[in-house]
Amino acid sequence: MTAPSVMTAPGVDTRPPRSLSDREVADGFVNGDEHCLAVAHARWHGLVHTLAARTLGDAREAEDVGQQVFLAAWRGRAGYRPERGPFPGWLVGITRRKIADALTARSRRRALEIALGERLCPEATAVPYSDRVLERLVVTGELAKLPVAQREVLAMAFYGDLTQVQIAERTGMPLGTVKSHARRGLDRLRRSLAEIPADAG
């Protein structure tokens, strides 16, 4: 007895799907083909992630950068020019910019923490701060979102250059209350700053 043959509808191509070339993926990507977006992600996400992880030393942060790279590439796909280089090289260029943004955001968060810690909790750190750096780092919009008491204490420390003891004397608040408002306000600022996109500054 012979094995039954597989019945195939006339005209149906039963060959395995052909792998797209890099150029075909790039062309489809630029033309808004979501399948090519998926192929590009599968093909080059490892490259992007490796570059980011090597520089940042943080797998989770590298993963975030990878997502930002492909989102930025998709949104800016009309800007890709094949004559200027291959598609993976274009992605690498975007990756480098996003890594730089991530490093800038990391430095901004770290510098703010050092500056705030030195200003508000001098007994906890001996790292000096720079007034000019502090002025650049403090996000006025984020300060405005704080509760009134926390905003008042931090603003007097930032802009009035007052110590916690001086703030207590100026406001009539107990020193412990001033410290509590400063600590809670600082925690809120740190969380808010961590949520600000790197390219928003």
Q: Using the structure block, give the residue that is written with the tokens 């509760």.
A: 147
Map out the domains of the chain as residue ranges.
22-105, 138-196
In angstroms, the CA 134 to CA 114 distance is 10
Q: What is the mean pLDDT of residues 179-193?
A: 81
**pLDDT band, residue 86 (cuts 50/70/90):** very high
How confident is the model over 53-76, as pLDDT tens digits? 988 888 888 999 999 999 999 999
What's the Rg (C-alpha) of the chain?
A: 27
pLDDT of residue 94: 93
Q: Is 127 helix (H, G, I), strand (E, B) or coil?
A: coil
Domain 138-196 has CATH 1.10.10.10: yes
Lowest-confidence region among 31-35, 104-108, 162-166, 181-185: 104-108
The pTM of this model reads 0.51
Q: Using the structure block, give the residue that is written with the tokens 């070339």.
A: 21
CATH for 22-105 (3.40.50.10800, 3.40.50.800, 1.10.1740.10, 2.40.340.10): 1.10.1740.10
In angstroms, the CA 46 to CA 52 distance is 10
